[in-house]
């Protein structure tokens, strides 16, 4: 019965997706909501975000992510909770561990969902397919249903819940479960929020014409907008931005509240990575550019004139 949310941690604190999924789980009203934590960290906010119980798997082998150890810990947590629906973020961990968890538990898996609803007590997912051209409902018939949910699919409101009971789960982990040894962790060059979790993105295309102009025109606008930088593949191939910044079919799939596209034509492969963004602002000097068909707001103009104006206005907002 109920919904278990696997809550990812970073630097000892829950990631934003934990609050997002816990609050959505409560709103679904499909039974008690609990949280699953793997490793150590400050679990105090999980109750406030709606978890009645926190199941926590601790072990010295859970220092760095390793598929084998995590899947074993997840399986133990799911069994201990007795939940019939399990939610996780469609993050690198969710994408790696949940297909294996699905196989281990014999549980159906809906991946990359962007919406969830309670259909007569059963949780049903909705996900984009064919590069976002259609949406399908994912109904899981196995006893336990797993869903990975794209970050930013649901708003995060005030954390008004109480304290959660913490239950320690022994997953019987040992060194033999660690199939990957992490030898070094490198911090990303940019300190901005991960693209897949970013709430705001400012992305640029081939039209920026050089790395120097990408850095001089787009990055300062992104900084003022408190946004993460994205890029089209044309811009990445031309060396204006790093591959980790590419949005689209062969880059990152993003789901921000605000996506500002500067001089991006809106090729189908780019749209595949960003068309679920809540508000899309497109700046393009070609009024016929395909991106305008998907834009919430369109500005027909030269980005080299529009971007500094946008930046100036955003600076006024502080």
Ligand X SMILES: Cc1cc2nc3c(=O)[nH]c(=O)nc-3n(C[C@H](O)[C@H](O)[C@H](O)COP(=O)(O)OP(=O)(O)OC[C@H]3O[C@@H](n4cnc5c(N)ncnc54)[C@H](O)[C@@H]3O)c2cc1C
**Under the criterion CB under 6 A, does residue 225 sit at the interface with ligand X?**
no
Question: By C-beta, is 67 or 249 nearer to ligand X?
Answer: 249
Nearer to ligand X, 258 or 267 (CB): 267
Cα 279 to Cα 295: distance, rounded to the nearest angstrom: 7
Quick one: which of 71, 233, 275, 311 contacts ligand X (CB under 6 A)? Answer: 233
Of these, 21, 74, 93, 303, which contacts ligand X (CB under 6 A)? 303
Single out the residue of 284, 292, 310, 311 in contact with ligand X (rule: CB under 6 A).
Answer: 284
Instruction: Check residue 234 for interaction with ligand X (CB under 6 A).
Output: yes
Q: Please identify, among the stretches 54-62, 146-154, 216-224, 297-305, the one whose residues bind ligand X according to the rule CB under 6 A.
A: 297-305
* Residue 260 · residue 281 · CB < 8 Å: yes
Q: Which range touches ligand X (CB under 6 A), out of 38-46, 90-98, 176-184, 231-239? A: 231-239
**Based on CB atoms, which residue is closest to ligand X, 51 or 283?**
283
Cα dist from 227 to 27, 28, 198, 218, 246, whole Å: 28, 30, 7, 11, 15
Distances (CA, A) of 86 to 75, 109, 141: 11, 9, 14
Among 123, 218, 221, 289, binds ligand X (CB under 6 A): 289
228 near ligand X, judged by CB under 6 A: no
Segment 195 to 224, residues that bind ligand X, using CB under 6 A = 205-207
Q: Which is nearer to ligand X, 116 or 289 (CB)?
A: 289
Does 193 help bind ligand X (rule: CB under 6 A)? no
Assess 232 for contact with ligand X (CB under 6 A). Answer: yes
Q: CA of 94: how far to CAs of 89, 90, 148, in Å?
A: 6, 5, 6
Q: 170 CB contacts (<8 Å, ≥6 apart)?
A: 57, 76
Report, in Å, the least distance between residue 286 CB and ligand X: 3
- x/- binding map, residues 235-274, to ligand X, per CB under 6 A? x----------xxxxxx-----------xxx-x-xx--x-
Question: Residue 205: which of 245, 269, 262 has the closest Cα?
Answer: 262
Please report, as ranges, the residues that interact with ligand X according to CB under 6 A. 205-207, 232-235, 246-251, 263-265, 267, 269-270, 273, 283-286, 289, 302-304
């Amino acid at each position: 019965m109920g919904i278990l949310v696997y809550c990812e941690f970073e630097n000892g604190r829950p990631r934003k997706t934990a609050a997002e999924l816990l609050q959505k789980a409560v709103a679904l009203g499909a039974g008690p909501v609990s949280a699953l934590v793997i490793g150590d960290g400050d679990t105090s906010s999980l109750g406030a975000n709606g978890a009645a119980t926190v199941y926590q798997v601790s072990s010295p082998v859970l220092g760095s992510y390793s598929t084998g150890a995590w899947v074993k810990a997840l399986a133990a947590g799911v069994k201990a909770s007795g939940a019939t629906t399990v939610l996780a973020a469609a993050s690198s961990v969710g994408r790696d561990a949940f297909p294996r968890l699905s196989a281990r538990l014999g549980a159906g898996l809906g991946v990359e969902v962007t919406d969830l609803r309670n259909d007569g007590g059963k949780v049903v997912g909705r996900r984009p397919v064919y590069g976002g051209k259609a949406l399908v409902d994912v109904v899981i018939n196995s006893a336990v249903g797993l869903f990975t949910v794209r970050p930013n699919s649901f708003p995060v409101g005030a954390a008004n819940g109480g304290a959660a009971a913490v239950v320690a789960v022994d997953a019987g982990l040992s060194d033999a479960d660690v199939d990957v040894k992490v030898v070094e962790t490198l911090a990303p060059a940019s300190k901005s929020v991960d693209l897949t979790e970013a709430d705001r993105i400012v992305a640029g295309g081939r039209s920026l014409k050089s790395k120097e102009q990408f850095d001089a025109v787009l990055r300062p606008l992104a900084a003022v907008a408190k946004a993460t930088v994205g890029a089209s593949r044309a811009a990445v191939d031309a060396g204006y931005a790093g591959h980790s910044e590419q949005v689209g079919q062969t880059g990152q799939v993003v789901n921000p509240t605000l996506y500002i596209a500067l001089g991006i034509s809106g090729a189908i492969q780019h749209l595949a990575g960003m068309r679920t963004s809540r508000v899309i602002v497109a700046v393009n000097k070609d009024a016929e550019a395909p991106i305008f068909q998907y834009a919430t707001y369109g500005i027909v103009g030269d980005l080299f004139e529009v971007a500094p104006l946008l930046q100036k206005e955003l600076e006024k907002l502080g």
